[in-house]
Amino acid sequence: MAISVLVVDDDDDIAMLLVSSLERAGISVVRAGNGREGVERVREHRPRVVLMDWMMPGTDGIQASQEIRRSVDIRQPHIIMLTARVHSSDREVALRAGVNEVVAKPFRPREIVGHVKELLELAG
């Protein structure tokens, strides 16, 4: 089965909430626990959507997004940054790093799932 969504978050509770919500909606999903692993999973699974945490130890979400965008050998996914950093300057940093959208934590899993389903339908 092709993986549609990659969840990249070092917080097990948030990651499992997203994974279980997406799976219940019939969406194929894989998880990575940090930015470095996230980049590897993008190369391996070629997901259409990446739900990326910003603040993670080691390679953070910004660095991982930049690396994904610099990689010409990767099909470019739609990257949604999930973060508690909600100032306009933070949003600008994320967008310059190649993130498509910024969603503030806390978020409603049902809204994330609905939006991901829309993105997957648009991607065909």
Model pTM? 0.95
How far is the CA of 32 from the CAs of 79, 91, 118, 122, in angstroms?
Answer: 14, 23, 23, 25
pLDDT at 7: 99
Domains, the chain, ordered by start? 5-123 (3.40.50.2300)
pLDDT at 1: 55
pLDDT at 41: 97
How far is the CA of 42 from the CAs of 38, 48, 64, 89, 101, in angstroms?
Answer: 6, 9, 10, 27, 18
Residues 19-33 pLDDT 10s: 999 999 999 999 999
